[in-house]
A and B are shown apart, each in its own frame.
Chain A
Amino acid sequence: MSKTLFDKVWDSHVVRKIEGGPDVFFIDRHFIHEVTSPVAFLGLKSRGLKVLYPERTFATADHNTPTINQHLPVEDPLSANQLKALEDNSNEYGISHWGLGHQKNGIVHVVGPENGITFPGATIVCGDSHTSTHGAFGAIAFGIGTSEVEMVLSTQCIMQPKPKKMRINVNGQLGKGVTPKDVALYIISKLTTSGATGYFVEYAGDVFENMTMEGRMTVCNLSIEMGARGGMIAPDETTFAYLKDKPLSLKGEAWDKAVAHWKTLKTDADATFDKELTFSASDIEPMITYGTNPGMGMGISKNIPNAEAVEGGVATYKKSLDYMGYHENDQMIGKKVDYVFLGSCTNGRIEDFRAFASIVKGRKKADNVTAWLVPGSHEVEALIKEEGILDIITEAGFSLRQPGCSACLAMNDDKIPAGKYAVSTSNRNFEGRQGPGSRTLLASPLVAAAAAVTGVVTDPRDLL
């Protein structure tokens, strides 16, 4: 029978099918961090359970870590307590732990791939919805709750009904200044934040085939923002080239054998999907959001839609614009910007810093803008220095912070103040997401850079 990529990976990980219920689903790789794991370990302890396969779980601290002075003790006692719990639990159960200060520390969805923990055909979970990032490698990767973290720790399985399948094709050539982030925000704006709920997405078409691994990660990362549990892209030579010789990638004969298998991981020609959508690359502009969910995005040159023109309730829409301090028909170009945030598991990789640098090079940071540039990992940080990007951004008046999730969810001190506008390369513009009362405009690193040097929302194509 013909199968999709998703079927092939899913079906090969079902330990048991339950009549009228979910599948017992085996997990190859499990990432944990300090925020969603402590209660899972408490559960293990209270039931007297062990971790079944500690070598399949990887811990990194990222959500609440400070992004300055990481060599000093963490000031917030609650954060410090969570970091200590992660360390203690990892030590107690024999789990690899890349804590604060560790050379490999960084955002879980950045360090996993860059160390070769992620691989094609794997099933990967983490108590974090942006686990979908790892789908870029042809893995089934998705976020889980803390009860499920406990299940994976104790049995390496969770109970999941098999989602429906959707394929999203984007064909053609992306225009100048249009990045993978824009492709994702465009798709979400078309589907809304619930358009893919209940589905697992496969991205196909030449736009994704021609994309780098980092670009694919950005796209798959944002799958959850259209409601999908995850998204994936068939592994190809780009994937294998990225993974080859990563610290934890297979080596020698084992590598060759794995690649031969990974090459079979693609959707059969006559396999079918429950839903299929096709978009044209030429319709996609640099994108920006204007509301309080990631589906409220549009081409940067457009005006904010009328309530009547959008799907969903008028009251909810108006509440959203009120929160943002915007009005129907406003144009986004020229809107005031107070903060710029470059970073997160969505756009905190080296290509994102290269893109940012390409615009700020030879320009100066606008005086009215506070910019937080946060690499996704120490490895990204090292590359920023090695490639001379640090010199470029320093010359332009910016400084670099230390790795972590930072202002994406503002669990540490990196909070956007109430009422202020932040152009952010992160993934969510929910009310208060970046700090109580903060107002977020989601965009690509190019749009963020353009805002950072002009102080207002600016079309990056004018600066390229």
Chain B
Amino acid sequence: MAYDKFNILTSTAVPLPLENVDTDQIIPARFLKATKREGFGDNLFRDWRYNNDGSPKQDFILNNPIYSGKILVGGKNFGSGSSREHAAWAVYDYGFRCVVSSFFADIFRNNCLNVGVLPVQVSPEFSEQIFNAIYDDPNTQIEVNLPNQTITILSTGAKESFEINSYKKDNMLNGFDDIDYLQSMKSEIESFANGLLL
């Protein structure tokens, strides 16, 4: 599915310094019943965000008007658990284009890259610096520069590089997805399949 190109993102960020945030928290299973990709942003972090009666939980970060932005900064091992791509859809549909963590779970990271959310893995120290900067000043601007593969806390100038393979980087910069690529090599795939035993 098409997504907006990603180049340089400068935004405030929302801090969620919990570890092991699993995809059941990002979007609980009971919200996976759609047959279309619509409305997942409304249920992002549903059970942390809303009470049973649907009223917002005041102590949850997304309900705190002080914090907003297109960058979500999570704790270590973000996105563990279920392979549901709905979690990445929910993050994107809510309005985040980038998730920052000191460690990502594999499938979630992959899913993000496939739907146009940039996962930026930083050192634990840099992650700490970002949290501190946001808590000091919720209006702190963070720049995520994909062409240069850097993330910068603009108020302090603290900067770190991040990894992304050149193929995926190219896709994100151009808003392409893997299907475009795979379609272009169909005959190569077919001749490979013809050589298989099973």
Contacts and interface: CB of A to CB of B under 8 A. Distances in A.
A411 B22 CA distance: 17
A147 B114 contact: yes
A36 B29 contact: no
A43 B106 contact: no
B1 to A, nearest CB: 6
A151 interface: yes
Contacts of A85: 35
Interface residues of A, number: 78
Interface in A278-327: 293, 295, 312-313, 315-316, 319
Contact of B76 (A35, A52, A312): A312
A370 interface: no
Contacts, number: 205
Contact of B36 (A39, A198, A312): A39
Nearest to B180: A47
A197 B119 CA distance: 15
Given A15-B192, A16-B188, A409-B29, A261 B197 contact: yes
B107 A21 contact: no
B47 A193 contact: no
Contacts of A53: 193
Nearest to A408: B29
30 contacts: A15-B189, A26-B189, A26-B192, A28-B198, A39-B35, A42-B35, A43-B179, A79-B33, A81-B35, A127-B85, A143-B83, A145-B111, A145-B114, A147-B1, A147-B85, A156-B193, A157-B182, A158-B178, A159-B178, A163-B106, A197-B104, A197-B105, A227-B105, A258-B198, A312-B19, A410-B30, A428-B22, A430-B24, A430-B25, A436-B52
A4 interface: no
A291 to B, nearest CB: 10
A229 B106 contact: yes
Given A26-B192, A194-B76, A20 B166 contact: yes
Contacts of B29: 63, 409-411, 433
A419 to B, nearest CB: 12
Interface in A229-264: 229, 250, 257-258, 261
B37 A39 contact: yes
A17 to B, nearest CB: 11
A116 to B, nearest CB: 11
Interface of A is mostly: loop
B77 A227 contact: yes
A39 B106 CA distance: 21
Contact of A316 (B18, B34, B86, B104): B18
A464 B81 CA distance: 33
B130 interface: no
A194 B104 CA distance: 9
Contact of B167 (A18, A78, A436): A18
A306 B162 CA distance: 35
Interface in B141-198: 165-168, 177-179, 181-183, 185-186, 188-190, 192-193, 196-198
Interface string B55-94: 0000000000000000000011100111111101000000
B81 to A, nearest CB: 6
Contacts of B190: 52
Contacts of B18: 313, 315-316, 319
B98 interface: no
Contact of A411 (B32, B77, B105, B165): B32
B110 interface: yes
A119 interface: yes
Given A21-B168, A193-B77, A15 B185 contact: yes
